[in-house]
Amino acid sequence: MLDKCSECPGLEGLLEALTNEIDNLPKEVVFKQWVHTDRADLITRLLPKDEFLNHLKMVYFSDGASQYKNKKNFINLCQHDNDFGLIAEWNFFATSHGKNSCDGIGGTTKREDMFKYCAEKITGITYIFVSAQEIKQTEAELMKRFELCLTVKGTRGYHRFVPVNDNEIRCFTTSTSEEFDEHNCVY
């Protein structure tokens, strides 16, 4: 969208237009942000409105592992704005791209021990521990949503997913593709 043609405003032009539009907002903007990539916990953030412009959309990047490209994640992506008050899209790296030696290390330490260590030893970062009970509660709530999910055909060939509305998703073959297919995510 930005800088694709001579009539596009570019990033600076867009930020200037948005800045003019939010002049009537309070000095600080409150919004919600996920704490973990499992989308289980939210924190409420407060930012000066100028900094908020950088948080208008959440763009996720992850490896292209097939377990992430599934109907449950797609319906969650479609519901992202309803759940968190923030629109989002999800981009997947091609196989074996976007990885490094730290991938796969996370499971070697007990979650609660790691949380306690970090909370005690590392300052300047807010840590939140998510208990197994909280995970089970969220899982039960999500199961209701997942009962109506449809499989999105051909997901292996797509690398970018952008919600159209609460139940429909656009699927792009690459993160820069302008052509897409639209799929319903629920019955």
Percentage of residues in the chain with pLDDT exceeding 90?
Answer: 27
CA distance 176 to 74: 19
Range list of H helices, 37-167: 49-52, 71-78, 80-84, 111-121, 132-146
Here the tokens at position 57 are 């959309």
Domain ranges in the chain are 57-96+105-184
* 108: pLDDT strictly greater than 50: no
List, for residues 15-33, the tens digit of each pLDDT value. 777 677 767 777 887 877 7
- Token pair 């306690």 is found at 116
List, for residues 44-63, the tens digit of each pLDDT value. 888 887 777 666 788 888 87
